Amino acid sequence: MNKSDFFYDLPESLIAQHPLEPRDSSRLMVLSKESTEIEHKHFYDICDYLKAGDCLILNNTRVLPARIYGTKNGTGAVVEFLLLKQIETNVWETLAGPGKRAKEGTEFTFGGGILTAKVEGVLDNGNRIIRFIYDKNDNIFNILDKIGEMPLPHYITEELQDKERYQTVYSKELGSAAAPTAGLHFTNEILEKLKAKGVNIGYVTLHVGLGTFRPVKAERIEDHLMHSEHYFLPQETADLINRTKKNGGRVIAVGTTSCRTLESCATFRGEICEDERMTDIFIYPGYSFKCIDGLLTNFHLPESTLIMLVSAFYGYNKTLFAYKTAVEEKYRFFSFGDAMLIV
């Protein structure tokens, strides 16, 4: 298939610039795997579509406030750094912009002096290796909480007033460069209501990389080089999934990240069991799903690997029709947008 097969027209006005309050007031498009039926609901209605014995699998990763602004020592020029990967305790691979101001050996000051840094190297892809220096009684994560900003996607131009609104209410494991956005709709009250109904909740961790926003450049999607991300599937969650399957319940992935975690484990290990590894699994039409029975997800960018994954699960023609319907019905799109449930 071609990248252009996954294009759709989206008015800019439908790109959500801020999260709704409360979280569960977003809209929910409910789709049937067995038919073309489409229902228009709100997220707080989700309990009506899940049954006792089903299980939801949530990604409990937590987003790092990884965007920081430094002033170049000597000139005062401002450079934006985005922390990508921790190499040592105080050494990180980063994006820097403008890069010409962050040459090897250059030093920077952040947050009025609570953090300083030196560029120790420039990688072939242009990323910078940065060594940070700070008070020995502090740590980089506390400092980022004080001076860092959330690495919101480029299509969100409004300032985020509350950093916690780009975190799920169940976020726990720090390490993502972006939020698992399907989970942003959940409130603690919704989760408790689901548990009271007999719906089981399990957790995996997949740290979302910036590669999730990388455009597909190859015209033939089979030629696209997928980014790699780290995941952990604990034994407790594996046991829950296997028990759910054995008892005839449905395994519903909350978000494409949970889906990729479960399908990666089932593909690499041949079963669902405790597993930890890097995955570059690329799911597009023709893929045979090995674990999930349902999918909750937001509306994704045209020609992205994420809409390709949804098409693989729900069907290509049905997916494009659902997106066309969402545009006509003025759903809100992307990270802070509305959701769809496919069961």
pLDDT of residue 120: 97
Closest CA to 120 of 96, 139, 103, 101: 103
Q: Kindly indicate the confidence band of residue 209, based on its pLDDT and cuts at 50, 70 and 90.
A: confident
Structure confidence by residue, pLDDT tens digits, 230-279: 999 999 999 999 999 999 999 999 999 999 999 999 999 999 999 999 99
Q: Which tokens sit at 116?
A: 């300083």
Closest CA to 58 of 141, 221, 173: 173
Q: Are 101 and 205 in contact (CB under 8 A)?
A: no
Q: Kindly indicate the confidence band of residue 315, based on its pLDDT and cuts at 50, 70 and 90.
A: very high
Question: Phi and psi for 131 in degrees, rounded to 5?
Answer: -105, 120
Q: Which tokens sit at 252?
A: 């519903």
Q: Are 251 and 291 in contact (CB under 8 A)?
A: yes
pLDDT of residue 125: 87
Q: How far apart are CA 262 and CA 271, in angstroms?
A: 10
Q: Kindly indicate the confidence band of residue 211, based on its pLDDT and cuts at 50, 70 and 90.
A: confident
